[in-house]
C-alpha cells in the first residue's frame, strides 16, 4: 500500500513544485522592463486567471473521482464516457469565457482597482491569455481522468512539458521578438494548447483501445451527465467559498496597512509550499480511494485512508519541525524589504501551526473527491466559512488585529479537516455492503 501511495503522490509533488518556477521567470522577465508597472500587471493578470480557473477546478476533481470509481468497477465504457463528458463541459465553459471576456475583464479590473498604467498592461495580458481557456479547462479534465486511471506519470510529463515550453515561449517572445506583457500572455496561451496536444497524443497512445467503447447514444443519456453536473456543482460552491475566504484574508490584511499585507503574504507562502506536498498525497487519495470505493472494497478503502493519514502525519511533523528551526531563514530569500521582514518575523509563530491545522483537510479533500461525496465537501465548507470563520473574525479582530485575523484563518483551515472527519462515517465508510454513489 505504501508503494502505491508513493507511486501516485511523488510525481504529483514534483509536478506541483515545477509550477512556481514559471511564475518566477515571468516576474524576472517583467522586472527588467524598466517599470514596476509590468510586475504589478503580470501579478494582477495571473491572479485573475488563477481565481477564474481555480473556480472551474471541479473539472479535474469530478473527473478523477468518477473515473477512479469506474476503474474500480472495471467499467471500461463508462471510463471513456466520463472523459467525453468532462471534455465537452470543459469546451463549453472555455468558449463561454472567451465570449464573456469583456464583462469578465471589466469587473475584474474594477474589483482589483489597480493604477491606470498597471491596468492598461494587465488588460493586454488578459485579452490574449483568455483564449487559452478551452485548452486549460480541457487539460483539467484530462489530468483528472489520468489520475482516476491510477496514472500519475502522464500528468507529471504533461505538467513539466507545459511549464518548460511556456518558459521557452516567454523567453523567445520577449528576448527575440521584443514583446512585453503580451509576450508572456501569448507564451502562456500557446503552452496550454501545446500541452493539450501532448495530452491528447498520450491519451491515444496509452488508452486508444478505450475509444471502441464510445457511444453517441450513451452521450445522449441525461442521467449520467446530470449526476456529473450535480457533483461538480457542489465542488464549485465549495471552491468559490474557499476562494472567497482566501481573498477576504488578503483584503483584511491590506486594510491593516501595506506592511501587514506584505508580511502576511510572505507567511502565506509557507502554506502554499506545504500544499505542494500535501496535494500530491491528496491526488493519490483521489486515485486509490476512488478505485476501492468503486469496487466496493471497504477493507482496502479503510486501509488506504489509514496509510494516507500516516503519511500525512509524517509530512506534517517534518514541516512543523522544519518551519520551527529553519523557517525564518527563508524569509530573506523571499524579499529584502526590511518592513516586510520585520512584520513576517513578528507574526511567524502562526506558521508553526499551519501544517497541523491543514494536513487533515488536504487528505480528506482527496478522499471525498475519490468518493464523489461532494455534498459533504460543500456543507463542511459552508459551516467552516459562514458559521466559524466570519463570526470569529468579527468577534476577535477589533481586539487582536492581525493576530485575530490569523486565529480566525487557522481555525477555518483546521475546522474543515475536523468536519470532514465527522462526516466520514456517513459518506466514506457507510455500513451497507455495496455503497456506490452515496453522495
* C-alpha distance from residue 383 to each of 379, 424, 428 (Å): 6, 16, 19
pLDDT digits (tens, 9 = 90+) for 146-160: 999 999 999 999 999
Averaged pLDDT, 47-64:
87
Please give the pLDDT value at position 438: 42
Q: To the nearest 10°, report the CA torsion of 364, 281, 16, 244.
A: 10
Q: Is the pLDDT of residue 27 over 70?
A: no
* C-alpha distance from residue 402 to each of 129, 267, 406 (Å): 36, 12, 6
Q: How far apart are CA 430 and CA 293, in angstroms?
A: 11
pLDDT digits (tens, 9 = 90+) for 257-301: 878 888 888 898 899 889 989 999 999 999 999 999 999 898 999
Please give the pLDDT value at position 325: 96
Q: How far apart are CA 64 and CA 147, in angstroms?
A: 6
Q: Is the pLDDT of residue 95 over 70?
A: yes
Q: Is the pLDDT of residue 334 over 90?
A: no
The distance in angstroms from the start CA to the end CA of the chain is 26
- Contact criterion met (CB below 8 Å) for 68 and 289: yes
Q: How far apart are CA 245 and CA 267, in angstroms?
A: 16
pLDDT digits (tens, 9 = 90+) for 203-254: 999 999 999 988 888 777 778 888 888 888 999 999 999 988 988 888 888 7
Percent of the chain topping pLDDT 90: 59
pLDDT digits (tens, 9 = 90+) for 105-115: 998 888 776 67
pLDDT digits (tens, 9 = 90+) for 403-414: 999 999 999 999
pLDDT digits (tens, 9 = 90+) for 56-66: 988 999 899 99
Amino acid at each position: 500500500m505504501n508503494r502505491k501511495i508513493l507511486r501516485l503522490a511523488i510525481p504529483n509533488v514534483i509536478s506541483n513544485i515545477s509550477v512556481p518556477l514559471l511564475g518566477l521567470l515571468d516576474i524576472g522577465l517583467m522586472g527588467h522592463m524598466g517599470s514596476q508597472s509590468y510586475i504589478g500587471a503580470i501579478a494582477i493578470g495571473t491572479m485573475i486567471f488563477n481565481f477564474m480557473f481555480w473556480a472551474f477546478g471541479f473539472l479535474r476533481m469530478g473527473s478523477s473521482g468518477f473515473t477512479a470509481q469506474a476503474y474500480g468497477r472495471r467499467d471500461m465504457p463508462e471510463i471513456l464516457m466520463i472523459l467525453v463528458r468532462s471534455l465537452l463541459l470543459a469546451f463549453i465553459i472555455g468558449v463561454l469565457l472567451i465570449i464573456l471576456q469583456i464583462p469578465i475583464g471589466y469587473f475584474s479590473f474594477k474589483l482589483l482597482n489597480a493604477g491606470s498604467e498597471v491596468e492598461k498592461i494587465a488588460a493586454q495580458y488578459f485579452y490574449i491569455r483568455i483564449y487559452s481557456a478551452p485548452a486549460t479547462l480541457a487539460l483539467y479534465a484530462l489530468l483528472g481522468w489520468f489520475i482516476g486511471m491510477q496514472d500519475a506519470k502522464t500528468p507529471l510529463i504533461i505538467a513539466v512539458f507545459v511549464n518548460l515550453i511556456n518558459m521557452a515561449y516567454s523567453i523567445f517572445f520577449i528576448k527575440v521578438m521584443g514583446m512585453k506583457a503580451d509576450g508572456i500572455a501569448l507564451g502562456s496561451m500557446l503552452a496550454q494548447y501545446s500541452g493539450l496536444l501532448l495530452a491528447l497524443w498520450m491519451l491515444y497512445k496509452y488508452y486508444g483501445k478505450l475509444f471502441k467503447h464510445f457511444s453517441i447514444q450513451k452521450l445522449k443519456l441525461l442521467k449520467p451527465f446530470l449526476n456529473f453536473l450535480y457533483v461538480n456543482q457542489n465542488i464549485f460552491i465549495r471552491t468559490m467559498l474557499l476562494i472567497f475566504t482566501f481573498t477576504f484574508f488578503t483584503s483584511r490584511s491590506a486594510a491593516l496597512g501595506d506592511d501587514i499585507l506584505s508580511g502576511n503574504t510572505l507567511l502565506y507562502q509557507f502554506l502554499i509550499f506545504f500544499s505542494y506536498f500535501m496535494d500530491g498525497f491528496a491526488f493519490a487519495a483521489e486515485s486509490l480511494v476512488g478505485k476501492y470505493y468503486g469496487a466496493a472494497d471497504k477493507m482496502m478503502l479503510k486501509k488506504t485512508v489509514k496509510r494516507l493519514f500516516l503519511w500525512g502525519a509524517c509530512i506534517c511533523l517534518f514541516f512543523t519541525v522544519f518551519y520551527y528551526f529553519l523557517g525564518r531563514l527563508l524569509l530573506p530569500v523571499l524579499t529584502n524589504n526590511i518592513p516586510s521582514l520585520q512584520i513576517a518575523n513578528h507574526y511567524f509563530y502562526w506558521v508553526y501551526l499551519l501544517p497541523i491545522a491543514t494536513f487533515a483537510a488536504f487528505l480528506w479533500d482527496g478522499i471525498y473527491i475519490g468518493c464523489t461525496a461532494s455534498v459533504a465537501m460543500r456543507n463542511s465548507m459552508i459551516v467552516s466559512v459562514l458559521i466559524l470563520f466570519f463570526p470569529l473574525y468579527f468577534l476577535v479582530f477589533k481586539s487582536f488585529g492581525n493576530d485575530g485575523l490569523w486565529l480566525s484563518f487557522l481555525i477555518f483551515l483546521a475546522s474543515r479537516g475536523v468536519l470532514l472527519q465527522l462526516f466520514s462515517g456517513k459518506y466514506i465508510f457507510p455500513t451497507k455492503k455495496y455503497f456506490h454513489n452515496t453522495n
